[in-house]
Structure 1
């Protein structure tokens, strides 16, 4: 008998497994349908000995010291500040748009103050900012929107920015200085030995049993467990009762080149040309020294594993139906991006998992030996 069955060995499931095992001395069975732990953050060494991210680049950044300190129990860190270039009008320029981006594209020599005025002259007034298009044109005008955002967004989501919630482009700031870092967070690091090593360290506990290549439906009725934490798609848990929640997927093409470096930064975006959205070169992220280099080309897709919940109002309405079911389901906690149908950065998922653990601790008492006193009758918790 396990105290907990946790479905999904990504950040949400693994963080909770470690907390339940180490802090409450409870027995945890952690399963995943893939053949590895780490979820989409899984990294591996390829046939040439290059460390690559199997599911595209994952860059850790956070402003939450508590989250950084928690993960520091399981990994050393390599300082890394992420920089991205965009191939626009035949040249590579910084994204997010900054002072150098505009000066380079338009052959200008603006100051930061002048750039503010330049943006203001081109910005289009929007009565109510509702869509991703509204966010950009209200800030920098239609020309930069067309160059940087419209084509990239249509490739990424299969929808025009005018059809998507404002949250999509609101995540990318516009700067008037020369700061070319993609993120502005206080803590910007990469796990020194990779994400997979970090997950393995996190799950190295005698109370945790890990089973990969395992489907929840195959064991749900055969392996006894008191409670369930589900980090997979919430609609799948309820057998798609109200229909499938829409997701955007990705296809990856991994390439090794017989040269030490391919591009000047880790990621180059292609908003105007190519079928792929971006190319990642991992040695920038990992700091690895090697005679060869590894790249990943990213192709958004309507089919495949669910990666990104599609931020549209009607999709949120459908999710709300599943959320009501979840809240009425006893002894099940729904945690993570797929279970709560929201896009989260890695640190946000860690924070969500830690907050869920605190709620579990408050609602379910344990005896000194870690065994549960009684089965809670309260409804499921949907992490937020």
Structure 2
């Protein structure tokens, strides 16, 4: 008999397992259908000795100091500022679009003020910004939308940006300066020894037991536990009662090449050409030196493991029906990207898990139990 069963050993499940074991002193069984912990952030050394991310690049960035403080209990950090290039019209250009992007694309020598006027001339007025297309054309105009956004988005999501919620392209800013960082968060770094090592330290508490290659649907009636935390797809938990929620998946092709470096930055996007969306070279992320280098090519798909909830109005309406079912289950906590059908970054999932732990503490006080002492859990 366990006090808690947690389904899913990614960020949401692992943070809650650690908090419950260390702060409440209760026993936790955490299960995952994969053969490893860490969820999609899992990393491992390949045959060339390069630390690669099995499920594509995971770049940690946050403005939440409490989240940094919490995760820093389990890892040291390697400072890293992420930079991305897009192959457009045969050139490798900075994305998000900035001053250098436009000057190099068009052979200009604009200043920041002149670039603002350049965008202003090309913007299309949109009465109400509802879609991902609306966001871009109202900011930089139709031509740049076609060059940088439309093709990439159609590959990534399988639908035209005009059919996607505005949240997808709203995540990508447009800059009039030369800042070529992909993110501008106050904290940007990679776990010094990798994500998997961080998860191992998080889950090494004696009150935590881990079972891998274990499918909740197959053993849900065989396990003995008092309370449940579920981080998998919410529609699956309820046996697809209202039909399946659409998720976008990815196929990863991992390659090692016989050269020291392959591309000038960690990630290069391909919005105009190729079947894949991007190529990642991991040595930029890890700082490793080696005679070979390892790459991942990403191919979006409608089949495979669920990675991204598809942000469309009809999907949100369907999720609301499952959300109502989840709200009625006072014995289950639903946490994470798949369980709450939200496109969260890693730091947001950690924040959601810590907030869920606070709600657990309020709802289920443990007489005499140690209270959380970290700011992250207050």
The interval holding the TM-score normalised by the smaller chain is over 0.9
Q: After superposition, what is the alpha-carbon deviation per residue over 1:173-221, rounded to whole angstroms, capped at 9, x for unaligned?
A: 0000000000000000000000000000000100000000001123222
User: Secondary structure of the equivalent of 1:325?
Assistant: helix
Correspondence for 2:102? 102
Correspondence for 1:355? 355
How far is 1:257 from its partner?
0.5
Q: TM-score, normalised by structure 1?
A: 0.96
How far is 1:329 from its partner?
1.1
1:137 equivalenced with 2:115 (yes/no):
no
Gaps of 5+ in 1: 371-384
Correspondence for 1:381? none
CA distance in 2, matches of 1:127, 1:222: 56
Correspondence for 1:60? 60
1:309-320 → structure 2 map (5 Å cutoff): 309-320=309-320
How far is 1:289 from its partner?
1.1
How far is 1:12 from its partner?
0.1
Asked if structure 1 preserves the Cα contact closer than 8 Å seen for 2:23 and 2:369, the reply is: no
Correspondence for 2:6? 6
Correspondence for 1:288? 288
Q: After superposition, what is the alpha-carbon deviation per residue over 1:10-39, rounded to whole angstroms, capped at 9, x for unaligned?
A: 000000000000000000000000000000
User: Secondary structure of the equivalent of 2:240?
Assistant: coil
Q: After superposition, what is the alpha-carbon deviation per residue over 1:81-125, rounded to whole angstroms, capped at 9, x for unaligned?
A: 000000000000000000000000000000000000000000000
CA distance in 1, matches of 2:276, 2:205: 41
CA distance in 2, matches of 1:158, 1:274: 15
Gaps of 5+ in 2: 371-378
Q: After superposition, what is the alpha-carbon deviation per residue over 1:115-158, rounded to whole angstroms, capped at 9, x for unaligned?
A: 00000000000000000000000000000000000000000011
CA distance in 1, matches of 2:79, 2:274: 32
Kindly report the root-mean-square deviation, in angstroms, between the aligned alpha carbons of the 2 structures. 0.7
How far is 1:367 from its partner?
2.6
CA distance in 2, matches of 1:299, 1:131: 24
Q: How many residue pairs align between the two structures?
A: 370
User: Secondary structure of the equivalent of 1:338?
Assistant: coil
Q: After superposition, what is the alpha-carbon deviation per residue over 1:62-91, rounded to whole angstroms, capped at 9, x for unaligned?
A: 000000110000000000000000000000
Correspondence for 1:335? 335
Moved more, 321-330 or 237-246: 321-330
User: Secondary structure of the equivalent of 2:204?
Assistant: coil
Q: After superposition, what is the alpha-carbon deviation per residue over 1:250-285, rounded to whole angstroms, capped at 9, x for unaligned?
A: 000000011110000000000000000000000000
